[in-house]
Chains A and B, each alone.
Chain A
Amino acid sequence: MVETGPRKEVPTVNIRSVSCPNCGASVMIRSFGQAVNVVCGSCHAILDALDPNVQILQKFSAAMKFQPLSPLGSRGKLRGTLYEAVGFQRRQIDVDGEKYSWGEYVLFNPYKGFRYLTEYDGHWNDVAPLRTLPNTTIVTGPVTYLGQTYKHFQTAQASTIFVIGEFPWQVRVGEKVTVSDYVAPPRVLSSETASDKEVTWSLGEYLNGSDLWKAFSLPGHPPAPVGVYENQPSPLSGTAKAIWKTFWLLLLGAVVLYFANAGISKNKTVFTRAYVFDTNDPVGEHSFVTDTFEFTGTRAAPVKIESYANVDNDWIYLNYALVNEDTGQTYDFGREVSYYYDSEGSEGSRRDSAIIPSVPPGHYFLRIEPESDRKPGRISYTVTVTHDYPVGYWFWIAVALLFAPALLTTWRSMSFEHLRWQESDHAR
């Protein structure tokens, strides 16, 4: 079969080796024809890669040498394309007297051109220059690009402090640009304004160091990321929102269960009686039993015993025994009713209630034995028994148990964002 269509033009890969006119060392130009400057790896002289005679553009003695984490010449696939690291520069900003520096790697593919990697404290970004301009009005305002809004993070003057390898622009040590970053994790939009007011925009996307190490087959492990980076995606991004959505659904379930329980509960008062306890009664035994009352139904249900005592700056203690007349099973408990008050306020209550769990149906009576100080005299009190009482506090306990993890997730998410923005021009 003969191919009749137009032949696809394949760019040729030109690799050229030149001698450094400064020190004589051999300098390999991997992106020959596209690199503008190349830096001698031996003496760090910046050479003109476009000049056939490879003129020296800048000489500088690298007082501080930086070793690229990904060595020049290493190759790896990013987004399915094989790139080679051809250049590296170190840039620095000064914020309130504190110097921060990061590394920028120039990657080259003869078919796709240049791409960049940036690294700061173990945080990596895959960066590509923009072909269309984003929509922005003020420097510190948000920027819109392809329908996504990016918030301003930081603007600072960055200077190049170290270069090595090849660059598709006129690179110089000491070169200053104004850098503005706008973030929408995991992306970052960056603008670089040169001294001649030329603005270059680029779009970066956060990369995991381990993914990069794997892609470039680099030995060892990538440096561990320090802190939270400006466009680092939050591990809880979207999670807090999803958890709250689940919380509301579960809360609805809890409300349904609460009302269902309230609906099936009889909540029936089966006994109520008023009594008087005379603390000065010389009779030694104050205990007595009530008439019999019945708990109907087929299931064990909670029983509420409510005590109301007419106490004034005093107390009464009621020893209760709820006795099943048929089986002899007894529920023994004691409740204090105390109420104190003065001009500054009050303490306690004249009313108290206790809930006895899971009481089977049957015939019951109460044994009551009141206690108090000798001085108060006559204390009147009322005892009320309610069968199959719907216990409401389990609902509130369930709400608290559902609420706590949702709150914790939101707090963790907010802490992450707080750490992110603490490093910005808009620290809160």
Chain B
Amino acid sequence: MIRKLYLIYGLGVLGFLGYAQYAGWSLSQVSQMKVVPKSIRDNPGSYRSVYGYYHHYTGGK
């Protein structure tokens, strides 16, 4: 019984692995925006990243 359950679980894991690889899933933190004005190419400064103005930690070495 446990073996059967494990087999079903394992096949689920393989399905997840196959789909995650094929669909190109990633754990990186990326924000998606649907429409960005094309003027960004001519005026890159007009766009502000949601990750901009980074506060670097300086407490360590």
Contacts and interface: CB of A to CB of B under 8 A. Distances in A.
A317 B21 contact: no
A347 B57 CA distance: 13
Interface stretch (A30-38, A214-222, A356-364, A416-424): A356-364
Contacts of A319: 49, 51-52, 54
B61 A342 contact: yes
B59 interface: no
A405 B54 contact: no
Given A302-B24, A358-B24, A334 B51 contact: yes
Contacts of B54: 317, 319, 334, 336, 371
Interface residues of A, number: 64
Nearest to A241: B3
Count class of interface residues, chain B: 35 or more
Contacts of B49: 319-321, 332, 334, 367, 369
Interface string A253-274: 1100110010000000000000
A357 B23 contact: yes
Interface of A: 236, 239, 242-243, 246-247, 250, 253-254, 257-258, 261, 285, 287-289, 299-302, 315, 317, 319-321, 323, 325, 328-334, 336, 338, 340, 342, 347, 354-359, 365, 367, 369, 371-373, 388, 390-391, 393-395, 397-398, 401-402, 405-406, 409
A393 to B, nearest CB: 7
A156 to B, nearest CB: 36
Contact of A332 (B7, B25, B30): B30
A247 B11 CA distance: 10
A413 B32 CA distance: 48
Given A328-B35, A342-B61, 17 more contacts: A246-B10, A250-B10, A300-B24, A321-B36, A325-B38, A329-B34, A330-B33, A332-B32, A332-B33, A333-B30, A357-B26, A371-B54, A373-B56, A394-B17, A394-B25, A398-B13, A402-B13
A253 B14 contact: yes
A405 B31 contact: no
A398 B26 contact: no
Contacts, number: 164
Interface string B30-52: 11111111101100110101111
Contacts of B6: 243, 246-247, 405-406, 409
Contacts of B32: 329-332
A246 B36 contact: no
A223 to B, nearest CB: 27
A287 B44 contact: yes
Contact of A347 (B11, B30, B61): B61
A371 to B, nearest CB: 5
B5 to A, nearest CB: 9
Contact of B31 (A333, A340, A391): A333
Contact of A358 (B23, B40, B52): B23
Contacts of A250: 7, 10-11, 13-14
Contacts of A239: 2-3
A330 B32 CA distance: 6
B61 A261 contact: no
A328 B36 contact: yes
